A = this chain, B = another copy of it.
Amino acid sequence: MRPRIAIDAMGGDVGPRVMVAGAALARHRHEGFQFLFVGDETQIRDALKDHPNLAAASEVLHAEDVVSADAKPSQALRGSKKTSMGLAVNAVKAGDVSAAVSAGNTGALMAISKLALRTMPGIDRPALAALLPTLKDTDVVMLDLGANAECDSRNLVQFSVMGAAYSKIMHGFEKPSVKLLNIGTEDAKGTGTIQDAAEALRSAKGLSLDFRGFTEADKISTGEVDVIVTDGFSGNVALKALEGTARFVTDLLKRSFRSSLRSKFGFLISRPATEMLRGHLDPNNHNGAVFLGLNGVVVKSHGSADEKGVANAVEVAARLVEDSILERISEEISKIGQSTPAAAAAK
């Protein structure tokens, strides 16, 4: 199936020019991609002039309004018939495109997507998932990163299934390993919610995942597991702690390199090394975040992503469509319905 992807051209800090350039890059690498750009028609057509190949594979849908970066989800919902974000997501709902990509306000995108697409049968709540860099060759899938501040054990079991399906598609693992984030790895650690979810996952039969118990937040970046599942509060805290610390350490490093002439010289010489570090941590080299559990594929590109970042997000969206993420999740969730103890927690 040829993916046709709606691009919210107006979201993010970057504007239509970068969104269009990113789509052009993705299209350059995957000839079959088709696009529907949603936003200010004049600006989009203008940006498309630089990319004739892309223009030939694209349509434009004019939207007169934009969801602002600080709009509350409720405001964004009210205006969604006129905004580029609202129209892009509604194009997924109408079956006009197979996925939507936006670099706009995450809370607004979640609210609009939830209302337009609804959660899949068997899923209580959608989750926000992302691929995070590790010391190994493959990124780790982590969810929920903030869609649900409070979760019950059913949610955590469903997130495990959704995260495993995502990992399987992105990395080709037959049975991705899954752990629940906890504050210790012993069986008795953590809240009742986590205990119940672990019990359900341990006793579930026939799932395409390998449940391995608990992990702690200092193991996220080691790559010891393929999928890490947690509630949206802890997930958001962990994600932001990762981002903040990476920035903290690189700032400290810059500062110490500036502290003596000798260090400055060393810094210049070792620049390629620090550039490599930066490249590994750069969000543009990873995709955006994905909303899982909805009747449709919606990808959130990083707000400050450059064209490489946008192209990555577009490619993730296409991959999820081509590899039928919705059907995979459905199928797995129906297995939970059949196995008794997990069913108690997840149905």
Contacts and interface: CB of A to CB of B under 8 A. Distances in A.
A217 B233 contact: no
Given A270-B263, A270-B267, A256 B241 contact: no
Contact of A241 (B220, B253, B260): B220
Contact of A249 (B146, B250, B257): B250
A253 B238 contact: no
Given A270-B257, A276-B259, A277-B256, A240 B265 contact: no
Interface string A231-260: 011101111111111111111110011011
A78 to B, nearest CB: 16
A253 B277 contact: yes
Interface string A29-53: 0000000000000000000000000
B277 A273 contact: no
A281 interface: yes
Nearest to A220: B244
Interface in A171-205: 181, 183-184, 186, 188, 190-191
Interface string A51-89: 000000000000000000000100000000000000000
A280 interface: yes
Nearest to A236: B183
Interface residues of chain A: helix, strand, loop or mixed (majority): helix
A266 B267 contact: yes
Contacts of A96: none
Contact of A183 (B190, B216, B233, B273): B233
A344 interface: no
Contacts of A256: 272-274, 276-277
A285 interface: no
A244 B245 CA distance: 9
Interface string A267-302: 111111110110011000000000000000000000
A49 B122 CA distance: 69
Contacts of A2: none
B245 A221 contact: yes
A338 interface: no
Contacts of A271: 266
Contacts of A262: 269-270, 272
A150 B191 contact: yes
Given A238-B241, A248-B221, A266-B267, A233 B273 contact: no
A135 interface: yes
A222 interface: yes
A277 B260 contact: no
13 contacts: A135-B248, A217-B241, A220-B241, A234-B237, A237-B238, A241-B245, A246-B249, A252-B281, A253-B277, A259-B273, A262-B272, A266-B267, A266-B271
Name the 6 nearest CB pairs between A and B, nearest first.
A266-B270, A218-B244, A266-B269, A241-B241, A217-B240, A245-B245
